[in-house]
DNA sequence: TCTTATCCTT
């Protein structure tokens, strides 16, 4: 168009920029941006919004924000594009922050705004804001379409309230594969395998045809609830009844399911059969986790060696192997693994936990003393652990063995981030109130045990969302029934 | 014209 000397309209630009966004064609998009300025469309609101969206989708959030900030007048679409960009790239706090600014400025929201904000709430476990959005939607009579409804289901499930998620699902007039998948996944995350399977049956009898994602979710639900037979059947019907070809994700879920159930040899054979065709470290990782869970040192070491050869740069593999050695009391091997990590310059991912109190989110990391009330929190936690010990709690020395410095070991075990967050939550909330913690990694066995005791001695319900799933602690036991 | 979700292992 340009070489033919035809003057492009703003419409031509939005279309091309949108195409660049979909292709993640950053370089070409930049050139188009130059043309936008050359042709004098730099101040066109539609073109600007498409540029914000383009840069955001390409992960260039700083540039997107520059274009966004430079807009003399911002349409709701531009706000949405910016919020969505932050959310998609994991900057949920920034997404929420921008949403709050929008609210303060009195900008009118639309359903796209809410979808992105609800996803951000899901990431953060920010149920208070999520509920606020839900109330706003209801009080303003906004129509609950499938996309918005699914975002709500997802928010409630990931923020710990799966029955609310179900209410939303039931109240929706229209369902598609996505909304069914979302609610099944929600039950699965909470360890409610039976409910997940009942819904799956209902879906098959009177809902839309399940797709590949649905089966990942179903298999994962089975894996976390010990429903091996159900999982096997679902996997089989995937091909026979639905003509779907199992992808690597399904195989990983199958290995995970067999491994968690203690069928380690079968899981091992399963991998060998598939790995010869398509090698997949993810399957080995799942098996390694299972070896640790069932304390099978011999197989674990074998699997870990295989895995380290395939993916030498992933710190998590070394951590798992070292944990396995630690459980076996092989301190010498723990040292070796630790030195391998140091040599490769690999660092353990830093764990942190957040707790929301009065709509404010507080973040704790291991041994964290940055909180102004740190002294009180630590003292209270020490007292809690003392009382737990009196009630029968015995510390589980497992992952600690891996800490770099000698004195850090005991220290970091005692002050893992979730314990600090729980102590703070107990100090700041009244009896009868549930404490909800969001953690970026999986819980360690010691914290899991400790929280069971804390729930008992304090007579409190504690909900922890770890990287993968939910734990509801009540009266000294956990909803996962110690089956992670 | 520009904006909107559902998934596995660590």
Assigned token pair, A193: 């395998």
Asked if A304 and A336 count as a contact pair (C-beta separation under 8 A), the reply is no
pLDDT digits (tens, 9 = 90+) for A333-373: 888 888 888 888 887 778 889 998 887 888 898 877 888 99
Tokens representing A164 are 């609310």
Q: What pLDDT was estimated at residue A400?
A: 46
| Model pLDDT, residue A270 | 93
The DSSP string of A303-348 is HHHHHHHH-TT-HHHHHHHHHHHHHTT-HHHHHHHHHHHHHTT--P
Q: Give the CA dihedral A271, A274, A276, A282, nearest 10 degrees.
A: -60
Chain B positions under 7 Å from a protein CB?
A: 1-10
Enumerate residue ranges in chain A where pLDDT < 50: 400-407
For A371-427, the pLDDT digits (tens) are: 899 999 999 999 999 999 999 998 876 554 444 444 455 566 678 888 999 999 999
Spatial CB neighbours of A365, under 8 Å, sequence gap ≥ 6: A350, A351, A352, A353, A417
Q: Which two tokens stand for residue A76?
A: 């709701």
- What pLDDT was estimated at residue A401? 46
Structure confidence at residue A13 (pLDDT): 95
Give pLDDT, residue A343.
84
- Residue A121 Cβ < 7 Å to strand B: no
> What pTM value is reported for the model?
0.88
Distance, CA of A33 to CA of A194 (rounded, Å): 53
CA of A439 to C1' of B10 (A): 14
Tell me which protein residue sits closest to nucleotide B8, measuring alpha carbon to C1'.
A249
A181 touches strand B (CB under 7 A): yes
Question: What digits encode the pLDDT tens for the residues A72-106?
Answer: 999 999 999 999 999 999 999 999 999 999 999 99
């Amino acid at each position: 168009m340009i070489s033919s000397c035809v003057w492009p309209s703003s419409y031509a630009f939005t279309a091309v920029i949108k195409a660049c966004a979909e292709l993640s064609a950053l370089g070409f998009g930049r050139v188009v941006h130059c043309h936008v300025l050359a042709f004098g469309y730099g101040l066109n609101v539609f073109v600007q919004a498409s540029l914000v969206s383009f840069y955001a989708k390409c992960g260039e959030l700083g540039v997107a924000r520059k274009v966004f900030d430079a807009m003399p007048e911002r349409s709701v679409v531009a706000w949405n594009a910016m919020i969505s960009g932050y959310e998609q790239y994991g900057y949920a706090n920034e997404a929420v922050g921008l949403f709050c600014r929008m609210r303060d400025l009195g900008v009118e929201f639309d359903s796209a705004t809410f979808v992105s904000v609800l996803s951000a709430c899901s990431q953060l476990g920010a149920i208070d804001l999520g509920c606020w959005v839900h109330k706003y939607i209801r009080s303003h009579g906004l129509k609950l379409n499938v996309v918005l409804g699914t975002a709500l289901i997802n928010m409630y499930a990931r923020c710990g309230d799966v029955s609310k998620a179900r209410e939303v699902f039931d109240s929706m007039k229209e369902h598609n594969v996505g909304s069914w998948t979302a609610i099944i996944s929600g039950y699965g995350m909470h360890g409610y395998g039976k409910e997940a399977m009942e819904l799956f049956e209902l879906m098959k009898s009177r809902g839309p045809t399940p797709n590949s994602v649905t089966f990942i979710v179903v298999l994962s639900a089975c894996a976390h609830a010990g429903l091996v037979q159900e999982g096997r059947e679902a996997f089989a019907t995937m091909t026979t009844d639905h003509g779907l070809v199992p992808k690597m994700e399904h195989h990983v879920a199958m290995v995970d399911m067999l491994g968690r159930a203690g069928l380690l040899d079968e899981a091992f054979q399963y991998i060998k059969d598939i790995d010869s065709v398509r090698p997949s470290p993810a399957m080995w990782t799942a098996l390694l986790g299972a070896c640790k869970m069932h304390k099978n040192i011999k197989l674990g070491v074998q699997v870990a060696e295989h895995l380290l050869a395939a993916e030498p740069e992933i710190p998590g593999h070394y951590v798992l192997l070292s944990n396995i050695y630690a459980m076996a009391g092989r301190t010498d091997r723990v040292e070796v693994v630790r030195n391998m990590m140091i040599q490769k310059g690999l660092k353990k991912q830093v764990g942190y936990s957040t707790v929301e109190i009065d709509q404010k989110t507080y973040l704790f990391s291991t041994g964290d003393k940055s909180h102004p009330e740190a002294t009180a929190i630590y003292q209270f936690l020490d007292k809690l652990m003392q009382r737990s010990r009196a009630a029968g709690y015995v510390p589980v020395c497992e992952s600690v063995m891996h800490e770099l410095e000698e004195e850090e070991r005991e220290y970091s075990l005692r002050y893992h981030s979730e314990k600090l967050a729980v102590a703070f939550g107990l100090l700041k909330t009244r009896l009868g109130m549930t404490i909800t913690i969001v953690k970026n990694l999986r819980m360690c066995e010691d914290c899991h045990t400790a929280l069971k005791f804390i729930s008992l001695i304090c007579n409190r319900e504690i909900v922890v969302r770890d990287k993968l799933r939910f734990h509801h602690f009540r009266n000294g036991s956990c909803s996962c029934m110690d089956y992670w």
